[in-house]
Structure 1
């Protein structure tokens, strides 16, 4: 996945600018982002504080790690099931 050129802190600051009363189009133009990007960020980070965004990122990383471990365990299980019925 492509890494954003904005950190969570910067994204939250951009969202707060718009919440403070600045027009969405103006905020997007000032920071060089598209309105689609802005609304995607708003859906993900809207209403979050910086510490909550960091916690969200760490939970997403942990979730990805656990999904990878589960996939590996399921693959090992499938291999063992294929080998078990065969007679030695």
Structure 2
């Protein structure tokens, strides 16, 4: 028998045909698969069927987490900007204070004033 790759959609359609009442032998002959292969697909299909109903809750949860993540990123951005403003403001104020101060004269051995 020639090996063939089946897409998940094709597998689901074949399994659904069998579940609708078509004889398994006839179905397998038409598609060129063994009955054992059909039953493996069917068992996997039915074993994961509950996940179809879980997608709504997963989507809501994912959506809530994404919105919370965006909100937190916004807060981090705002706080970072505020911190940078404060840092720049402090540095600017320090530089302004230094530029306004008169320079001190040294009273070392070479100073012109006698002390």
Q: Report TM bin, short chain.
A: 0.3 to 0.5
The structure having more radius of gyration, on CA atoms, is 2
TM-score, normalised via structure 2 length:
0.37
TM-score, normalised via structure 1 length:
0.45
